[in-house]
Amino acid sequence: MEAKSEIVNRCTPLIAAGIFLGAGLGGFVDGILLHQILQWHHMLSNVRSLTTVSNIDLNMLWDGLFHALDWVLTVVGVALLWWSGGRNDVPWSSQTFFGSVLIGAGLFNLVEGLIDHQILGIHHVKPGPNQLVWDLGFLLLGAFLVVFGWIMLQNSRVKK
């Protein structure tokens, strides 16, 4: 019977791919849903309000840079997944992969929410009278995704 550490080591390439893909896709969901479709905020909307054309342009530029980062994370995730797929020693498991994707998306929410919403204050999820509630909900969603993904990873390793 394989030791648990050996199973973890063999799954690491698939887990890394899932985390990068999750972070990239989580960023795309944030940018597409909150920035573009709902238009609740933009990257610098708390610093430069959308009251002038130059402020709109600046926010659009930073939204684009944000999406470029999401794209890079996603490409790295795809490359890692491709590399993992070429290895015979990496066990393929949907539960391991999707658990890792959830961890990546949750980590994205936690890091982006803590840095941009709380520390820098450059924007909030939904500015206004209840913005702290929306920001905390965003962080709680991130924490939930990380915990649920971690549980999926642990359950996938038990079955091996």
- Specify the amino acid at residue 94: S
What pLDDT was estimated at residue 10? 85
User: Given this model, what pLDDT does residue 156 score?
Assistant: 86
**pLDDT at 143 (0 to 100):** 98
Q: Could you please report the per-residue DSSP string of the chain?
A: ---HHHHHHHHHHHHHHHHHHHHHHHHHHIIIIIIIIS----TTTTTS-TTSHHHHHHHHHHHHHHHHHHHHHHHHHHHHHHHHHT-TTS---HHHHHHHHHHHHHHHHHHHIIIIIIIS-S--SS-STTHHHHHHHHHHHHHHHHHHHHHHHHHHHHH-
**Model's pTM, two decimal places?**
0.90
pLDDT for 133 equals 97
Domain residue limits at 126: 4-159
Sequential pLDDT tens for the chain (160 residues): 455 555 557 899 999 999 999 999 999 999 999 999 999 999 999 999 999 999 999 999 999 999 999 999 999 999 999 999 889 899 999 999 999 999 999 999 999 999 999 999 999 999 999 999 999 999 999 999 999 999 999 998 755 4
| Alpha carbon of residue 3 to chain centroid | 31
Instruction: Name the domain count of the chain.
Output: 1
pLDDT score of 6: 58
Under 8 Å CB-to-CB from 45, ≥6 apart: which residues?
A: 59, 122, 123, 127
Closest to 55 in 3D by CA, of 46, 67, 66? 46
